[in-house]
Amino acid sequence: MSPIRVDYHIHTRFSVDSQSSPARCCLAARQAGVEEICFTDHLDVHPVDPGFGYFDPGGYSRAVTAVAGFPGVSVRLGLEVGFDRRSHADLLAYLEAHPLPLDFVLGSVHVVEDRLLDTFLLSAGNHEPAISAYLDEVEAAVRAAASHRLFDVLGHLDVFKRYLPGGHGRSRLARFQDRIDSILELAAAGGVGLEVNTSGLRNRLGETLPALEVVRRFRELGGEILTVGSDSHREGDVGAGIDAALDIARAAGFRAITVFRQRQPAWVDIV
């Protein structure tokens, strides 16, 4: 029996940077042989983020519920929450004021020191302090997830690779191995998962976020929760790179990946 193919990072028109409809994403998933998907539209509460004030929780919930019975595809309701320490309280307040029947929450850092991550990194004369500041936010995010159950899985841990020119992102990553290890250890101990995000396979990076060596290190440090996602913002990318992500999971020592039901993890075999 072939391993189940899932995609736990999909954006629709309820994210400011996507025009996809939930129904078209479901159709694309079925055509790609993806058996389970989770919609993870952006919830951004920092005013500098383009998605600030855009999210419509009621409309989103209704739209996903409407496709819940799509033939051949199991559909889950999720969010991708944007974390930064300065708006952490606002994020918690929003989630409390707008409760949703969520299956899954992905946590990502897109804002550092009141600037969008790409702008923050590219405007820095020295990238290493900027990466360090980003990792400070990621560490704080993992601590918040572990202590307040703010989210279930950390999204695209080394996303800064996406924004640095040439191969600088990959070379910088090696210099922060101790910091990365500390974050992975905190996540593993706190029951916070790691995402293998395949979006980097579709651009000049040519590798997942994070790549195999980080996923393997997470496993060595006791990590058990691992999701895979395309980070698709158009329906044509639903399911893209999922087989490569499963190969990475196996090579890192995982025998199963994680799916979620009402914020509770479950595992599906991949070997």
Domain with 187 in it: 6-269
Residue 164's pLDDT band, with cuts at 50, 70 and 90, is confident
The Cα 139–Cα 97 span in angstroms is 26
Residues 69-83, mean pLDDT to the nearest whole number: 97
Burial track 184-198 (b if 16+ CB lie within 10 A, e otherwise): bbbbbeeebbbbbbb
Return d(Cα 2, Cα 13) in angstroms, integer: 32
Q: CATH number of the domain that 212 lies in?
A: 3.20.20.140
Confidence of residue 169 (pLDDT cuts 50, 70, 90): low
The alpha carbon of residue 189 and the mean position of all alpha carbons in its chain are separated, in whole angstroms, by 19
> What DSSP designation does 207 have?
S
Show Cβ contacts of residue 220 under 8 Å, excluding neighbours closer than 6 positions.
Answer: 253
Beta strands (DSSP E) in the chain are 6-10, 36-43, 74-82, 104-108, 111-112, 115-116, 153-154, 193-197, 226-229, 256-261, 264-269
Asked whether residue 48 is domain-assigned, the answer is yes
> Which residue in the block uniquely carries the two structure tokens 């694309």?
28
What's the confidence (pLDDT) of residue 179?
A: 95
Q: Is the pLDDT confidence value at 1 over 50?
A: no
Report if residue 174 sits inside a domain: yes
Residue 1 lies in a domain: no
pLDDT higher than 70, residue 2: no
CA dihedral 233, 236, 239, 241 (to 10 degrees): -90
List the structure tokens of 157.
Answer: 């841990």
- Give the tens place of pLDDT for each residue, 222-235: 999 999 999 999 99
Residue 7: what are its φ and ψ, rounded to 5°?
-140, 110
Structure confidence at residue 121 as a pLDDT band (50, 70, 90): confident
Which pLDDT band holds residue 139 (cuts at 50, 70, 90)? Answer: very high
How many distinct structural domains can be found in the chain?
1
- pLDDT-based confidence at residue 173 (cuts at 50, 70, 90): confident
What is the reported pLDDT for 106?
Answer: 98
Q: How far apart are CA 211 and CA 218, in angstroms?
A: 11
| pLDDT value for 125 | 72
